[in-house]
Amino acid sequence: MAVGVLALQGSFNEHIAALRRLGVKGVEIRKPEQLDSVTSLIIPGGESTTMAKLAEYHNLFPALREFVKMGKPVWGTCAGLIFLADKAIGQKTGGQELVGGLDCTVHRNFFGGQIQSFEAEISVPNIAATEGGPPSFRAVFIRAPAILEVGPEVEVLADLPVPSDKTVDSSFALESQEESSGSEKKVIVAVKQNNLLGTAFHPELTADTRWHSYFLKMVNGVGEGSSNSILTAGEDLSLYQLPKIDLPIFQ
């Protein structure tokens, strides 16, 4: 199996390394014709405006849209999530071109700029159910977007509380969860819709390969085969711990 990784800019090398740890080859994709050699694609995190300009320069958008429409598995992380969204807000003047296909509205840099990057423990019951391991995932958010709205066919895989000092456009009906202290607003940070997977965070920057394994199951057909990442009895849970990265912890 070979998985294409869009290699215009951003953390494509880290995705290729994560795939290698699962015994899968990652193929760098920079030109439209190279998409013909792969049956799945990862669009990595990076600077979304820069990536869009480079994709436009290489005339990649028509080929990427066709790739999505053909039902081939595509996973977008951070900037890649913005690429896959049908609608993006909070963009720079003039906006950026999108691939689309994922029925959601994404807010670019929802959590702030580079200095507001953080780590957070998020609940991932779907991932734990199919890939084993802990019921939570230590997620790395770097200039991260967030999903404000999703369509009826979109499956939410993870969400995160909105910071108390964060102002959100009232036209978006954010998820709310009743707690003893009142209603807590949340934004969505991971979704799946048919052949498309989107995460607002960077699994490729952690030692936990369960998101990559989950995507590989999408490539093979949901529910088919078995995952190498499933924990066996007595397996060391420390394998799933995040390496030391100097980012603040989001509470």
CB 89 within 8 A of CB 108: yes
Non-local CB neighbours of 223 within 8 Å, separated by 6+ positions: 217
Residues 223-238: pLDDT tens digits? 343 344 333 333 343 4
Residue 245 belongs to a domain: no
Residue 246 belongs to a domain: no
Residue 248 belongs to a domain: no
Tokens matching residue 130? 């199919």
Residue 213 belongs to a domain: yes
Question: Can you give the CATH number for the domain in which 166 is found?
Answer: 3.40.50.880
Number of domains in the chain: 1
Measured over the CA atoms of residue 134, residue 135, residue 138 and residue 140, the dihedral's sign is positive
Tokens matching residue 179? 């707690």
What's the confidence (pLDDT) of residue 251? 38
β-partners of residue 248 are none
204 an active-site residue? yes
Active-site choice (14, 15, 131, 202)? 202
Residues 164-210: pLDDT tens digits? 666 655 455 555 444 434 457 899 999 999 999 999 999 999 999 99
Active-site choice (15, 78, 104, 131)? 78
Active-site choice (14, 119, 131, 204)? 204
Residue 87 belongs to a domain: yes
Residue 247 belongs to a domain: no
CA distances from 48 to 95, 101, 119, 146, 213 (A): 10, 17, 20, 14, 25
Give Cα 104 distance to the centre of its chain: 13
Q: Which residues of 235-251 are buried (b: 16+ CB within 10 A; e: fewer)?
A: eeeeebebeeeebeebe
Residues 2-33: pLDDT tens digits? 899 999 998 999 999 999 999 999 999 999 99
Q: Rounded mean pLDDT of the chain?
A: 83
104 an active-site residue? no
Q: Which of 251, 227, 21, 30 has its CA nearest to residue 132?
A: 227
Residues 176-187: pLDDT tens digits? 444 434 457 899
Q: pLDDT band at residue 116, thresholds of 50, 70 and 90?
A: confident
- Which range marks the domain in which residue 149 is found? 2-240
Residue 31 belongs to a domain: yes
Tokens matching residue 236? 């060391």
15 an active-site residue? no
Per-residue pLDDT, averaged over 48-67, amounts to: 93
Is the pTM above the cut of 0.85?
no
Backbone φ/ψ region at 49: left (φ over 0), alpha (ψ -120 to 50), beta: alpha
Q: Which residues of 103-139 are buried (b: 16+ CB within 10 A; e: fewer)?
A: bbbbbbbbbeeeebbbbbebebeebbebbbbbebbbb
Residues 139-161: pLDDT tens digits? 999 989 999 999 999 999 999 98
